[in-house]
Amino acid sequence: MSQQGTTKQQVDDEFVVDTEDCEERERAYRERGTARPITVVGNPVLHKECKDVTEFDEKLAALIDDMFASQRAAEGVGLAANQIGVDLKVFVYDCMDDEGVRHVGVVCNPVLEELPADRRVLDDSNEGCLSVPTAYCELARPDYAVVRGQDAEGKPIAVRGTGYFARCLQHETDHLYGYLYIDRLSKRDRKDVLRQMAEGTARYETVPND
C-alpha cells in the first residue's frame, strides 16, 4: 500500500476551532454560571490526580458554566475543576496566544501530547497561578503544545497552542494530574514563590486551608 501525503487542510481539520465567536461564547457560559472561590496550594484536591469525566450531562454543563464565571471573576486565562474544589478532569480557557489571537474552550480528560525533539523549543517566561495568588516565577516550558481529550458532549477533540496559550494548556493539564507549576520549580524558586504568596493578598475569593 502506498503512503499517502498529508495536506495542511487535513492537519488543520484535526484541531478544534476555538478562535471564533469568543466573546459571545464566553459570555454565554459565565452568565449561566456562578463564580466560586478558588482553592489554593495546600488544599488536598490540588495535589492528587482528578477523576476522569465519564458523564457528559447537564451537571457537567453547569460545572463548566461555573468554571467560566469563576475564571472571569478571578481574572484568569485558564481554570481547572480542582481549582474550585471539584475532583474531575476538566479545564476551561480564555487565553490569548503570542500573536494576540483569543482562544476560548473546554477540554475534558486532557492528555498532553509528547512533542518530538525538533518541536521542543523552550520558553522561560514568567508563570503564575490562581491557586498561588500574587506570586510569579520564570518556568521553562515548550512554546508549542497539543492537548487531546473530549468536549463537553464527550466528542474527541484536539487543541493546539503556541507561546502563552501553549503554556496555558500545559499548566491546566498539569493541574488535573495533581501538579502545580511550583512543583516544577527548584526548591529555592518554590520557596520564593510561597513567600510572595504569603506577603500578598488575593484580589478574588479563596478557600482557606484550615
Helix (H), strand (E), coil (C) string for 110-173: EEECCCCHHHCCEECCEEEECCEEEEEEECCEECEEEEEEECCCCCEEEEEEEHHHHHHHHHHH
| Separation of alpha carbons 68 and 8, rounded Å | 32
**Gap between the Cα atoms of 61 and 58, Å rounded:** 5
172 annotated active-site: yes
Helix axis angle, 58-73 relative to 22-32, nearest 10°? 110
- Catalytic choice (31, 75, 114, 172): 172
The CA dihedral of 103, 125, 68, 176, to the nearest 10 degrees, is: 110
Best CA proximity match to 173, nearest among 137, 206, 147: 147
Catalytic residues: 172
